[in-house]
Amino acid sequence: MSKKNYRSFSKIVIASVLCLSLCLLSNCDVSNVAAAEETTAARALAEAEARAARAAAEAAEARAELAAQRAVQTISSGDVFLMLWHNGQFRKFNRSQVRQLDRAKPVVVLVHGLFESATDDWLANMARRIATVEPNTLILAVDWSKFSLKGSSVISWEDFRAIEARWGNEITLTFRPQGLGAAQTRRAQAVANVVRSIPPVADLANEYLFGGTGLQLRPASTHIIGFSHGAHVAGLIGENTGGTLRRLTVLDPSTRLSHFAKNGNRGGKGWDSQSARFIDMYQTSRVLGTSKPYGHMSWEVVAEGDGRRLPTISFNDRRRHNYAPTWFTTTVGNRNLGHGYSMAIPANVVQEGKWSGTIIGR
């Protein structure tokens, strides 16, 4: 090969090498750019997904807050409201308590009676005992004191009983006694107002406890305990659940004016043995409590010092009447009695209409 041809060939080789190098470098840059763009796109997608997740969480938080706020407004406003046993006393709910409510817990609901409110001593004593024995239980109270004549200056307990005794079976939703003086008419009307209040109070309480705008608790996990006229509020709450309530306990339920039967004098609104899966009843007085056994299991409870049977007593028997929740509180935690709060609920309950026996209080 001549020197001239060799130089030409060398130039061609060098040019080829340079071209090849440039091509390799170009391909490397394209790959690097593509990889960088892919990484940037992945990072942007991850950030977008994270933002969407945060937005969804914030929206869920806002919905939960709104639901809690509505629930608090529902159960703590108006003339009837729920209270929560918290730090040794009953208090109205706040939003954080509604949001943090563990609806899987067993629930006990206490319902006060005539001339009472949810802050009366027996409710606190019973709640305190239940909380000690069953710390995992959610304890609530229904306050319907606006209708229960708490602090009434119009009528006394004695007046109430006298009117109920005279017109008991005539006190209907349209009760208008004739021929009375102004003061007695006001008292009679106060009695009628209690009759009117019981069904709507129970309707509200049912919505607060189990409804979509309330706490949305489960009737099948709920035990409601009602005393005196509060027993009828409790019974009607059970009726409103369609009989799915786990247990209903009625303590010396009042007679006459708050008829049990579903064809009673409240426009057909009533409760009976089908209003809960299990109903236990405890009668402690002959006059203030009903004389009929309406529970699946029903007992007479004789106060200490009163002998072996409920005595036929004087007209006004508040001591024995008030003994019912006091005695029932003593049974909390005692599973060996066969009755009371901690009794084992029988698998096959008996029908209403029979007394299960007499209990001697201690």
List the pLDDT tens digit at each of the 362 positions of the chain: 555 554 555 555 455 545 545 454 455 455 565 666 677 778 888 888 888 888 887 776 666 556 655 555 555 557 888 999 999 999 988 777 888 889 899 999 999 998 899 999 999 999 999 999 999 999 999 999 988 888 776 677 666 666 666 655 555 545 555 666 676 667 667 777 777 788 888 989 999 999 988 899 999 999 999 998 899 899 999 999 999 999 999 999 876 544 444 444 444 567 778 889 999 999 888 766 666 777 888 888 887 766 556 655 544 477 788 899 999 999 999 988 889 999 988 877 765 567 777 887 76
By DSSP bridging, strand 357-360 and strand 297-302 are parallel
What is the C-alpha to C-alpha distance for residues 174 and 335, in angstroms, rounded to an integer?
46
Whether the Cβ atoms of residue 270 and residue 285 lie closer than 8 Å to each other: no
User: What's the rounded Cα separation, in Å, for the pair 190 and 297?
Assistant: 33
**pTM (two decimals):** 0.76
Q: Would you call 107 helix, strand, or coil by DSSP?
A: strand
What does the alpha-carbon distance between residue 221 and residue 286 come to, in Å, rounded to a whole number? Answer: 33
Q: Helix axis angle, 182-210 relative to 3-76, nearest 10°?
A: 160
